[in-house]
Amino acid sequence: MKKLFFFITTILIVLIIIILNLDTIRSYVVQRLNEEQKQSIREIFFGKGEAKLFQKYKLYGKMNYNQNILPDTHYIDLNFYEKDLSDLDLALSISKWNPGSVQFFLENYEDKVILADSGGNFFYIERESLYQNKKIDFKKIDTNFRYENGLGSIRDLYVHKNKIFISYSDFSDDCTKINIDVSNIDESLKFENFFKSEDCSSEFDAGRINYFNHKGIEGILVTTDTELEGKRAQDINSSFGKILFIDFENKKSKIFSMGHRTPQGLYVEGNTILAAEHGPRGGDEINNIKFNGNYGWPIVSYGEPYYFEEFYDKEISKKNFFYKKNHTKENFIEPIYAFVPSIGINQIIKVPNDFSKFWSNNYLITSLNGRSIYRAILSENNNKVISMEKIFIGKRIRDIVYNKKNNIFILSLEGKKKSKSSDAQPKIGVIQVQD
C-alpha cells in the first residue's frame, strides 16, 4: 500500500512540475528539435492529417487575413480530396513561365468530364469515378489534333450542345495566330478550323471560350492576350488584348471589349459577363464586361512595370515608364476588384444555389501562384465586390467546373509530372459539402 501511495505521489509531483514549467519545456523542445522531429511528434499526438493541416496553417495562416484552409471555410464545412492522374499520359506544358508543368482544362458533357491537356490529349472521365474512394475511370479520345505540327498549346475547351470548341495558337512562319477549332463530340474528335485571327505576332495567345447571344445573334466570346508591352490592346484594328465575339453562322469576329492584358477567366450568364485578368507585377483584375467597353491596358493598371528594358520600345525610358493607375480619370472602366499583389488569377465561376444556401449566388475564383480559391460576394449589379474569402488549397488551380448531378466542384490542379512527391503531381480536386 505504501509503495502505491509513493508511486502516485511521485507521479503527481512530476505532473505538477511539468505543468508549472510547461512554457520552459515547450521552449526547450522548440529550440532543440528540427522541423521534421516536431512534425513526427505532432503526428503521434494528433495524427498525420491534423499534423499536415498544422503545417499549412503555420506557413500561411499568419500571413493572410481572412483565410481558411480546405476543408475549413467561414460558413460551411467542405470535403476536399484529390484524384490521382498518374495513369493518364499527360503532356508537359511549353509555358516559359512554369516549365515542366502539366496544364489541363475540364468540361462537363452528359455523364462524363472531358479533360484536355495543353498538348492536345483528350480523355473522357466517368463522373461517378470522381467519388473519393473510387479509382478514376478514363478513356483516351482519338483525335486529329496534332500538337507537334506548328500548333501551340490548348488554352481552353468549351462544350456547346453536341460540339466541343478548343482555343490554341499556331507558330507558323514566325507569326503566331489564334485559332478556334470545333468538332462534334463522339468516340473520336475530328476538329475543323472555326476561326483564325488575321493579325499575328511572336507573342499571341488564345484564351477562354464561352457561349453568348449578342443582340439575338448566337456565337462565342473568346479572350485574347497581347504582347508584354501591350501596344495593340488599344488598337481597334487588332485582335490583341480583346474579348472577341464570333458569330456561329458567318464565323466573323468583332471586338466586344478591349484594353485587356491577359484575360484568363471568363464567366457568362445571360447578359452578365465577368472576366478575370492577369495584371503585370500586381494588379490582377476582375472586370464586369460591357459591349464596347475599354478596360485601359496598357495605359492604366494597379500593378507595376517589370522594368525589363528588352520588353519595351527603346524610346520609352525605364525611369519615366509607369502606369496611370486610376482607370476612371483616364476614361476607362474600373475593375470591380484588383489584387495587389497578384494572385495569378484564373477561372471564375458562379456558385449554383443547389450547392449550399450559405454560398448562394457567390463566385469562386481560382488562382495559380495564390494556390487558393477566392470566394467573392458581388453587389446586385456586379459593379463591386462586397466581400472576399481566401480558401487555401496549396496547388496551382488552372480550371474549375461544377457538376450539378453530384453537386461537386471539379478542379484542375496543376503540377510537375516528374516530381518525386505525389503532392506535387497534377491531380483532379473535388469539393463537396459535408453531409
Strands 188-189 and 138-143: parallel
- Mean per-residue pLDDT for 138-143? 96
CA-CA distance, 127 to 115, in Å (whole number)? 11
Out of 157-161, 175-179, 343-347, 388-392, pick the least confident: 175-179
Of 43, 67, 48, which Cα lies nearest the Cα of 57? 67
When pLDDT is cut at 50, 70 and 90, the band that residue 22 belongs to is: low
**DSSP state at residue 59:** I
When pLDDT is cut at 50, 70 and 90, the band that residue 11 belongs to is: confident
pLDDT at residue 63 above 50?
Answer: no
- Across the chain, mean pLDDT equals 85
Three-state secondary structure string covering 25-70: HHHHHHHHCCHHHHHHHHHHHHCHHHHHHHHHHHHHHCCCCCEEEC
Beta bridge partners of 385: 378
CA-CA distance, 229 to 351, in Å (whole number)? 35
Residue 264 cell numbers, joined = 484568363
| The predicted structure's pLDDT at residue 373 | 95
More confident: 255 or 316: 255
First to last CA, the chain: 53
Q: CATH number of the domain at 67-433, please?
A: 2.120.10.30
At residue 357, the 3 state secondary structure works out as helix
When pLDDT is cut at 50, 70 and 90, the band that residue 86 belongs to is: confident
Residue 160 cell numbers, joined = 456547346
Share of the chain above pLDDT 90, in %: 53
Q: How many CB atoms lie within 10 A of CB 419?
A: 14
Domain ranges of the chain: 2-28+35-61, 67-433
Out of 59-63, 90-94, 106-110, pick the least confident: 59-63
∠ CA 383-388-393 to the nearest 5 degrees?
135
Out of 197-206, 212-221, 244-253, 373-382, pick the least confident: 197-206
Decide if 419 contacts 428 (C-beta within 8 A): no
- Mean per-residue pLDDT for 401-427? 85
User: Is the overall model pTM greater than 0.85, yes or no?
Assistant: no
Decide if 287 contacts 274 (C-beta within 8 A): yes
CA-CA distance, 363 to 400, in Å (whole number)? 12
Of 171, 185, 105, 109, which Cα lies nearest the Cα of 143? 185
At residue 120, the 3 state secondary structure works out as coil
| The predicted structure's pLDDT at residue 62 | 43
In our burial notation (b when 16+ CB lie closer than 10 A, e otherwise), range 144-181 reads: ebebeeebbbbbbbbbbeeebbbbbbbbeeeebbbbbb
Residue 107 cell numbers, joined = 468540361
Question: What are the pLDDT digits (tens) for 353-370?
Answer: 899 988 999 999 999 989
Q: Where are the beta strands (DSSP E) in 150-294?
A: 156-160, 163-170, 177-184, 188-189, 192-196, 206-214, 217-224, 242-247, 253-258, 262-269, 272-278, 284-288, 293-294
Residue 166 cell numbers, joined = 478548343
Q: How many CB atoms lie within 10 A of CB 346?
A: 23
pLDDT at residue 313 above 60?
Answer: no
239 membership: H or E segment, kind and range: none
